[in-house]
Amino acid sequence: MSDTSVTSGNRVIRGGDRRTLIGTVLILILLGLAPQVIYPVFVMKLMCYALFAATFNLLFGYAGLLSFGHAAFWGAGAYLTAHAAKVWGFGPLAALGTGMVVAAALGTVIGLLAIRRKGIEFAMITLAMAELVSFIAHQMPFTHGEDGIQGVPRGHLFGLIDLGVPANIYVFVLCVFIFGMFVLWRTVHSPFGHVLRAIRDHENRAISLGYDVARYKLAAFVISAVIAALAGGTKTLVFQFAVLEDVSFHLSGQVVLMTLLGGIGRFYGPLAGAAIVVGLESFLATSSFPAPVITGFVFVLCVMLFRRGVIGELAERLKR
């Protein structure tokens, strides 16, 4: 499932890295030029969701942990960033930081509970916990229930740069995206990441090699939660609201779809998946035909025929 496997030797790993490097440069050029041709808000939305999907991929693709409630962290980031910016008057970075700190705490608690179980049970616990978070978001006064937090100010970066200016917010989101992806990249391509893959492929062997498996899983879970909150908070700064949809089960399902569609365990898989899902949805938004039917159809098609995802199939072709 992964682009490079621990046991496949140095040559293969370096080959994979070179391709990913070319991919990275291409993606950065594309994202830099995109606002010239595509509606910038759409590209910003895409970057937020792609980063979010990448955090899910860290867990599922690299550590083999299917989190079925990942919206809890995105939502925590969205709500806390919104509240910090609007009510407490924090600047954009401090507001994002608030969301990430809360998500780190939340991720530690949920992670501690969930990693005690495997496979489908892990998925169920994360789902149950996310439902709890969604319930809290529904009940707490500061989230304003069905209305959500509206009219969140974007603020000034370092008190100087006005993020209300379209070009500024675009560059800001791009920087957040690059930062988030870099953190995930470092996590995956480090000894830590290799241990995660070892756990995914053969947990008992990893245990017998002396790794404290629970601690590795928990660390991966918390990193994933924090970056997911960063993505959610950034989305809040772009659209200037946080609503119940941000903690919904629907979103948790969608992030699974994005990752599956792009390619599980492929570093850029979630990016491609998010592009397709977000693109499809905004394309279908104007028609009366419900987007879920198409996404559902793509979902089924992926599971039946393209389990490697778009990037996975592409990489397979290139290898030949």
Partner 1 sequence: MNTTMIVGQLLVGLINGSFYALLSLGMAVIFGMLHIVNFAHGALYMLGAFSAYLALHWFGINYWAALILAPLAVGLFGAVIERTMLSRLRTLDPIYGLLLTFGLTLILEGLFRYWFGSSSRPYPPPPELRGAVQIAGIYFPIYRLWIVGASLAVCLATWYFIERTRLGAYLRASTENAPLVQVFGVNVPLLVTLTYAGAAGLAGLAGVLAAPVFQVSPHMGSNLLILVFGIVVIGGMGSIRGAIVAGYALGIVEGLTKVIYPQGSYIVIFIVMAAVLLIRPSSYAAREG
Residues that bind partner 1 (CB under 8 A): 66, 113, 116-121, 123-125, 127-129, 131-132, 135, 139, 249, 253, 256-257, 260, 288-293, 295-300, 302-304, 307
CB of 71 to partner 1, least distance (A): 13
Residue 85 CB, shortest distance to partner 1, in Å, is 28
Q: Within 13 Å and on the Cβ side, how many CA atoms surround 38?
A: 17
CA distance 56 to 62: 9
Minimum CB–partner distance for residue 113 and partner 1 (Å): 6
Query: Which residue type sits at 72?
Result: A
Which residue lies nearer to partner 1 by CB, 187 or 295? Answer: 295
Nearer Cβ to partner 1, position 10 or 287? 287
Residue 54: count of CB within 10 angstroms of its CB? 32
Strand partners, 162: 156
Give the C-alpha separation, 129 to 137, whole Å. Answer: 12
Residue 70 or 86 having the CB closest to partner 1: 70
Pick 43 or 261: Cβ nearer partner 1: 261
C-beta of 35 vs 270, nearer to partner 1: 270
d(CA 79, CA 233): 7
Q: Which is nearer to partner 1, 178 or 291 (CB)?
A: 291
Contact status, residue 71 vs residue 249, Cβ threshold 8 Å = yes
Closest contact distance (angstroms) between CB of 27 and partner 1 is: 26
Min dist CB 98 to partner 1, Å, is 25
DSSP letters, 228-292, are: HHHHHHHHHHHHS-B-GGGG-HHHHHHHHHHHHHH-TT-TTHHHHHHHHHHHHHHHHTTSSS-HH
In the complex, what is the shortest distance from the CB of residue 47 to partner 1, in angstroms, rounded to a whole number? 24
